[in-house]
């Protein structure tokens, strides 16, 4: 689960191009003003501060001088055109719905809202087709109280009225909502339970990653509580409860303690990090990656107080088939290994 705000999944790519051969040296903010319609210089300078302007794949400041043949890429916190928010007849797995809210079970592979190269087929596109007049959150996203990553499956609550939006958003901000995730991580987690603490903010070099800053000098406070459910040879199945909801929180926190999520490409979990050097084992892991071609993370439970009735509502979802099959494969491997 993630708090809403101008972060990785809020960014929209506007340009990725090469400066002409005759380009005279020019500040990148002035240079981009010539290309981005309706963009202010302040907005472009803010993008530079956020590390969202790259020249030749390196983040640059707003005073960087663009030269001939430079490859320039910029991402901003608003969509390049209004038509992104269009209704689409996308099937939704609705777990619960009333006049105030809806709970959906998002499949892996579905992006929550348009942006960052995903301009259709998102949850919001489907919601707009299903419900008219969705309220906007503080980032002008219809119905969204919180979100989960594209390749994470699981439960989300959607607000259908202004009252529900305000009430539910406050619960997430005040940390009174309940959320449990199931994750499969590399390595044997030694403690049966524990808490991972460390501010989370954008990686200082790779702005598409989040990093953990233990000294708190950068990023925002992040707290993840976990319990070990099963140790399966070279991986561990864990349950995670989020006290905070930062972008990529579970993924970044477990990478930080040396246990990246299984097959998490962005955080290095798509490599064989633990185990033997046997060819048979390598083949086994490769097959497990094929069974679960995404990070092993599922938002299993969700709890909150209903904004109208005051009743505490709790929802649970099944671990999806791809993740189940991967876990079963590791169970079988662990059982056979222990008998050898």
State whether residue 88 is helix, strand or coil.
coil
> Could you tell me the two tokens for 338?
């222990």
Residues forming beta bridges with residue 308, ordered by sequence position: none
Distance, in Å, from the CA atom of 15 to the CA atom of 39, rounded to the nearest integer, reads 13
How many C-alpha atoms does 242 have within 13 Å on its Cβ side? 34
Kindly name the residue from 10, 70, 149, 151 that is annotated as catalytic. Answer: 149
Residue in 304, 306, 288 with CA at minimum distance from that of residue 296: 288
**Beta strands 101-106; 94-97: pairing state:** antiparallel
* Region of residue 168 (phi > 0: left; psi between -120 and 50: alpha; otherwise: beta): alpha
Residue in 134, 119, 125, 130 with CA at minimum distance from that of residue 88: 125
321-339 and 279-291 helices cross at what angle (nearest 10)? 160
Q: Is 215 a catalytic residue?
A: no
Structural contact between residues 266 and 211, judged by C-beta atoms closer than 8 angstroms: no
1 Cβ contact partners less than 8 Å away, ≥ 6 residues apart: 146, 147, 148, 172, 179, 181, 242, 245, 249, 299
Could you give the residue numbers annotated as active site?
Answer: 149
């Amino acid at each position: 689960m993630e708090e809403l705000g101008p972060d990785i999944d809020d960014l929209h790519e506007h340009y990725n191009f090469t400066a002409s051969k005759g380009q005279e040296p020019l500040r990148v903010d002035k240079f981009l003003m010539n290309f981005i319609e309706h963009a202010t210089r302040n907005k472009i300078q803010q993008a530079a501060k956020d590390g969202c302007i790259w020249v030749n794949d390196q983040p640059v400041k707003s005073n960087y001088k663009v030269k001939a043949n430079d490859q320039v890429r910029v991402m901003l916190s608003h969509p390049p055109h209004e038509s992104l928010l269009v209704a689409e007849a996308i099937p939704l797995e609705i777990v619960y719905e009333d006049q105030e809210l809806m709970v959906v079970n998002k499949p892996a592979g579905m992006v929550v809202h348009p942006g960052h190269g995903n301009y259709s087929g998102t949850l919001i596109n489907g919601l707009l087709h299903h419900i008219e007049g969705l309220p906007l959150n503080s980032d002008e996203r219809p119905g969204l109280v919180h979100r989960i990553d594209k390749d994470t499956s699981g439960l989300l609550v959607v607000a259908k009225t202004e009252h529900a939006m305000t009430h539910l958003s406050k619960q997430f901000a005040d940390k009174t909502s309940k959320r449990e995730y199931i994750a499969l991580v590399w390595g044997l987690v030694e403690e049966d339970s524990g808490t991972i603490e460390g501010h989370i903010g954008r990686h200082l070099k790779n702005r598409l990653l989040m990093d953990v800053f233990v000294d708190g000098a950068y990023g925002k406070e992040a707290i993840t509580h976990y319990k070990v459910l099963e140790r399966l040879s070279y991986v561990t199945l864990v349950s995670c409860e989020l006290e905070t909801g930062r972008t990529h929180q579970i993924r970044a926190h477990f990478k930080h303690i040396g246990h990246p999520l299984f097959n998490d490409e962005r955080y290095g979990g798509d490599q064989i990090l633990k185990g033997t050097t046997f060819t048979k084992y390598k083949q086994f892991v490769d097959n497990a990656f094929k069974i679960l071609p995404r990070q092993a993370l599922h938002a299993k439970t969700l709890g909150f107080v209903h904004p109208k009735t005051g009743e505490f509502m709790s929802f649970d979802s099944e671990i999806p088939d791809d993740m189940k099959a991967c876990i079963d494969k590791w169970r079988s491997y662990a059982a056979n290994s222990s008998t050898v």
